[in-house]
Structure 1
Amino acid sequence: MIKKFTLSVGASLLLMAGLASAADPVKTLKVCTEASPDGFDYSLYHANSTADASSEALYNRLVDFKPGTTELRPALAESWEISPDGKTYTFHLRKDVQFHTMPWFKPTRNMNADDVVYSLQRQIDPSNPWYKTATQGWFYAQAMGFKELVKSVERVDDHTVRIELNRPESPFLADLAMGFTSILSREYATQLEKENKLRDMDVKPVGTGPFVFKRYSKDQMVRYEANPTYFRGKPKIDQLIFSIAPDASVRLQRLKAGECDVMLYPSPQDWPAIEANDKLNLIKGNALTSSYLQVNTQKPPLDNKLVRQALALAVDRPNLIKVVTANAASPMTNPYPPSQWSYNSDIKPLELNIDKAKKLLAEAGHPNGFDMEIWVRPGTSGSNPNPKLTAEMLQADFKKIGVNVNVKTIEWGELLRRARDGEHTSVVLGWASDNGDPDNFLSNNLSCSGMEDGSNFSRWCDKPFDQLLKDARAESDVAKRTAMYKQAQVIFQENLPWIPLFHPLNALATSKNVSGVVASPLTLNSYADADINK
């Protein structure tokens, strides 16, 4: 006799839910990060902490980088063509990409060409109603001269976009993989225009990316949920939480206690202990990163290159690297590290020379030195594990040549704003490449157009140097571009708008049960492929 068992519908559903819950527990990845995001519309900003929280988590570009590399791959565009003259780019869009459904916005269509046109035009067209919403400017678009470069962004049909340039631009495709070209919803923008709430684009984000924004508490946390309709497939984790802790020791304690699963920017002094801990992983990688003292070349006496050369010769780089990075860095001479193609290895490395530094100061009219200020951010960053300690060591080094330094700690957002306005004397800063092209280091930070819009914090404009950058961007031959960039590095070394410090290694720490997280040479952090087994 076969016995039959029956359950009520309600009981069946409860049982299935229990089984599903047991089989598929909610996976939450908690990331201890170093700083609050400045906002969620990355086109307005440039800090890595903001990129991680916005362009990496919430959005996509036409193309992007294969995780852990600078290798380009299709993203929202599944294919593209470039005209023989290098001035016309035609992109063919995916048809299955959906924008996030949010309490404040319900999309009625999939991503299409209108969204691409809107996302780029708003940053380069002064007649666009969104152009003036960037009260501090469109950081990257202005620093990289997109308004002068891009002739038009046109909708060919729903799934085809054509971008016309005024001149050939070799890094252009790689530029389109950068966070500032993230594709936002034209439909959502139209809604905000009707509601007169344009500011909401930065605080109530709507993207196509692997995670959906849920909540943000400033200086505390950002919460996301996995995007179930993500075009590359729903992420393996269900929830993503950024827990904000500027102090690296606090982040490490939280990781050890199980309060975080991933810790960004562990102090190099803690790397050996992390590697020795059988419950943790240390993930290291070479980074296209530079750490330097950015000086305001419009403020005397730093407007004199002899003074800047003297400061550069007063820095004891081996000792700085030992104390600040536990030798997890290499001395810096040129604007970018030797792993970046076109690095000029013929330039003699900067070495400590106190006597020569004093002679240069005397020649510049400052035999007894002078007073100056160094600004630093609190906490740590991907380019510098301890900016304040760096400044204090520079303070001691510069004292040996008669230069008296006052170190001042300023909140990160305020520091950036005031430095863009030119209030600073000098700032401990760093730069991580956004796209693997040498132009990204030079044009963003040292071009004349960057000086005009505030992204060039050194406020240094050298016409021959600037022309080399323009010529190199227009040249498609890598050997010719390399020769131009090598010449540009010679000019940099003679003028030193930065006081070079070091090139750090990149590292992050995770619990042993985390997988799918890699160290990027661009020092960005994506969790689209992350998984956690608890």
Structure 2
Amino acid sequence: MRARRWITAVTAGLLAVTMTACATSERGGSGNGEAGGTFVFGAAGAPKNFDPIFNDDGESFRPARQMFDTLITYKPGTTELEPGLATKWESSPDGKTWTFTLREGVTFHDGTPFDASAVCANFDRWFAMKGAAAQSQMIYYGDVFGGFAKNEGDASGSPIYKSCTAQNPTTAVLSLNQFKGAFPAAFGLTSFSISSPAALKQYDADAVSQSGDSFTYPAYANEHPTGTGPFKFESFDKANNTITLVRNDQYWGEKAKLDRLIFKIIPDENARKQELAAGTIDGYDYPSPADYQTLKDQGDQVLIRQPFSLLYVGFNTKNNPKLKDLRVRQAIAYAIDRESLVRTKMPEGSAVAKEFVPPTVAGYADDVTQYPYDPAKAKQLLAAAGATNLTLNFYYPTEVTRPYMPNPADLFSAMSANLQAVGITVNPVARPWNGGYKDDVQKAGKHDMHMLGWTGDYNDAGNFVGTFFGREKAEFGPQDPAMFAELAKADAIPDPAGHAAAYQQVNKDIMAKYLPAVPILTTGPAIVVGPNVQGLVPSPLTDERFVTVSKN
């Protein structure tokens, strides 16, 4: 698993009663549906900082998306690409050269101009980033661009980025050492937002330091994030746990309808629900599926995203030799009643996953090997493999809610009962998500079987199967080098049709030949807002923008 999906936001204390009263008075808006007013969003945790390149979690990205723009963005409510700071883009046939035609008349929040030189300054900054601490925090850059001008610390890999040239103020040309299937979609990732070069320099943006497991970020990341987005940074009141953004009246696109956008940090989900009912916040993310009807009954709008998340159970073939036998892994796949899980444990809109790529992604294959619920078949395969006495240390996380597993304990209990019904002994091992689970599974590989998942970042098959299985990990133990090679080959094909066809074959082979995990279900989590909120478009990428939001 990539670190982004491992990391949950830093929790913080609830606001004082006096701040609640203040927020109540601020959130009223104009009262007549016109532009203006304040929108208060209940955030689950505090952002790590506000410099997009150093972030990899949703609670950090949410405010950043409102302040920054990317070259390419995603059409609201979809995974489709549309112009951002670039009005158009084109690639050379080999996929190694990308030419961006840029918007004119755009300025950063500090008043400096956005142009091709600014674009290249950002790409050069990321590539030339110095210091092991800074490089270690650039999770997405490492995943997409492979390496740095000088790899330090744990950073490794051959750089994909080569250079950036400002041909003229409105034309930036990006040169790569090799094609990567993530492009062009990855140019829309929030991590690759364009910052003001002047502000980066003025506030010493690259000065990240580390002490033990703690990181210290410079003034740019904490106090002066400077993008081109529809909202500008005003303050982060850590004493009262509120982030305040204000409308950017010089925004190049449609201006924000709100005067102010406040993120109020409320770590407890039940407290967020209560504050929405009380009217002290206007919305929050990932409501429990069990609360959907209650929220609707009180007049709130439960906006369900299109499915782009996937839950799987994975096998660690290192600790348990019997799991090296494909027949044993297939038996487990047949033993799990995924239809029942979706029907009884998941919210509306969820579905059984046939493979490790959602149906909307190019590279999805309709004709993969399937493993319908068949306990008799599972028992036959276990007997044929000499594994009728199989015992599994089955890890599941606690103290966490993820889009693809809203209640991990419930999902574990159902799957554990399925496995025991075919004669498998299950040793349940529960660990807190941030207090042992990630370390035991991701780093130490102490488990035999585990639950994990993924919410896609962009519409490319490599963002799913490449992220899951593209390299050897402690999560799965030793894997077949042939699978790594097949994934790398598919990712390196620049022709879209050939790229998709190669990933279709990869998906077929993963399900038939390798089966390092079992895809369980795909789902779209909800975001909830009050009855007087208009204009919020739920995104399958959890890429919601508040520029269109208003209140009446």
TM-score (normalised: structure 2): 0.79
Aligned equivalents of 2:517, 2:431: Cα separation in 1: 19
User: What is the distance in 2 between the residues matched to 1:137 and 1:382?
Assistant: 24
1:446 aligned to which of 459, 469, 473: 469
Among 154, 160, 163, the residue aligned to 1:149: 160
Q: After TM superposition, list the pairs within 5 Å mapping 1:170-319 onto structure 2.
A: 171-193=182-204, 196=207, 199-200=217-218, 201-204=220-223, 205-213=225-233, 214-215=235-236, 217=238, 220-245=241-266, 247-277=268-298, 279-301=299-321, 304=324, 306=326, 307-319=328-340
Q: Do the aligned partners of 1:36 and 1:50 also contact (CA within 8 Å) in 2?
A: yes
- 1:475 aligned onto 2:497: no
Shift of 1:276: 4.1
Which residue of the partner structure matches residue 10 of structure 1?
Answer: none
Does residue 78 of structure 1 match 2:100?
no
Counterpart contact for 2:118–2:196, Cα < 8 Å: yes
SS at match of 1:116: helix
Partner SS state of residue 524, structure 1: coil
1:342 Cα offset (Å): 2.9
d(CA) in 1 for partners of 2:525, 2:84: 25
Cα deviation, 1:462-519, whole Å, max 9, x if unaligned, reads 4333333333334344443332112111222132333322111332222221111112
Q: Is the 8 A contact 1:34 1:247 kept in 2?
A: yes
Structure 1 SS opposite 2:243 = strand
Alignment-derived partner of residue 464 in structure 1: 482
Structure 1 residues 461, 93: closer, same or farther in 2, change over 3 A? farther
Instruction: Name 2:139's counterpart in structure 1.
Output: 139
- Give 2:47's aligned amino acid: P
Q: What is the aligned counterpart of 1:48 among 58, 65, 78?
A: 58
Inter-partner Cα distance in structure 2 for 1:470 and 1:209 = 35
CA contact (8 A) 1:304 1:364 kept: no
Q: Is the 1:122–1:131 contact (alpha carbons within 8 Å) kept by the matching residues of 2?
A: no
What's the CA shift for 1:368? Answer: 2.8
The answer to whether the 8 A contact 2:129-2:135 is kept is no
Give the letter for the 1:134 counterpart: A
Deviates more, 1:109-118 or 1:228-237: 109-118
Q: Are 1:113 and 2:112 counterparts?
A: no
- Are residues 25 and 163 of structure 1, via their aligned partners in 2, closer, same or farther at CA, if it must alter by over 3 Å? closer
Matching residue's letter, 1:351 = P
Structure 2 CA distance for aligned equivalents of residues 497 and 208 of structure 1: 43
**Is it true that 1:406 corresponds to 2:416 in the alignment?**
no
**Counterpart amino acid of residue 112 in structure 1:** D
The share of aligned pairs that are identical, in percent, is 28
Separation (CA, whole Å) in 1 of partners of 2:456 and 2:30? 43
Aligned with 1:428 (options 439, 451, 457): 451
Deviation at 1:61, TM superposition (A): 0.8
Q: Which residue of 2 aligns with 1:29?
A: 39
> Which one of the candidate residues 99, 114, 126 is aligned to 2:108?
99
Pairing 1:511–2:533 present? no
Gaps of 5+ in 1: 1-19, 101-106
Matching residue's letter, 1:43: I
| Residue 335 of structure 1, CA deviation | 0.3
1:226-274 CA distance string (max 9 Å, x none):
2333222431112222334455444333322212212322222333343
Report how many aligned residue pairs link the two structures: 497
- Displacement of 1:297 after TM fit? 4.8
Change (3 A) 1:478 1:90: closer
Q: State the one-letter code of the partner of 1:139.
A: I
* 1:61-113 superposed Cα distances (whole Å, 9 cap, x missing partner): 1111121122222212233343344322122333433333xxxxxx4622333
Give the Cα separation in 1 of the matches to 2:38 and 2:203: 32
Name the CA shift for 1:250/1:495 in 2 (closer, same or farther; >3 Å): farther
Q: Please give the secondary structure, in 2, of the residue aligned with 1:29.
A: strand
Query: Equivalent residue of 2:136, what SS?
Result: coil
Mapped contact 2:307–2:350 kept (Cα < 8 A)? no
SS in 2 for 1:429: strand
Distance in 2 between the 1:175 and 1:511 partners?
A: 32
Per-residue Cα deviation, 1:432-464 (whole angstroms, up to 9, x for no partner):
22222222212233212xx4xx7x954665433
| Matched letter for residue 292 of structure 1 | Y
Whether contact under 8 Å (2:181, 2:462) holds in the other structure is no
Amino acid at match of 1:97: V
Aligned AA for 2:285? L
- Structure number with greater Rg is 1
* Contact persistence 1:317–1:502 (CA under 8 A): yes
Q: 1:261 to 1:524 in 2, by over 3 A?
A: same
Equivalence for 1:12: none
CA distance in 1: counterparts of 2:546 and 2:428, whole angstroms: 41
Q: Which amino acid aligns with 1:531?
A: S
Q: What is the CA-CA distance between 1:211 and the residue it aligns to? A: 2.4
**Is the counterpart of residue 166 in structure 1 residue 144 in structure 2?**
no
Cα distance, 1:218 vs structure 2: 9.3
1:392–1:407 CA contact under 8 A, matched in 2: no
Q: Is the 8 A contact 2:115 2:169 kept in 1?
A: yes
Q: Deviations over 1:298-329 (max 9, x none)?
A: 44458625454343333222232233214541
Give the superposition deviation at 1:330.
0.8
- Separation of aligned partners in 1, 2:283 and 2:87: 32
**8 Å contact from structure 2 (residues 313, 520) kept in 1:** yes
What amino acid sits opposite 2:300 in the alignment? L
Deviation at 1:149, TM superposition (A): 2.8
Give me the whole-angstrom Cα distance separating, in 1, the residues matched to 2:545 and 2:35: 22
Which amino acid in structure 2 is aligned with residue 67 of structure 1?
Answer: P
How far is 1:135 from its partner? 5.3
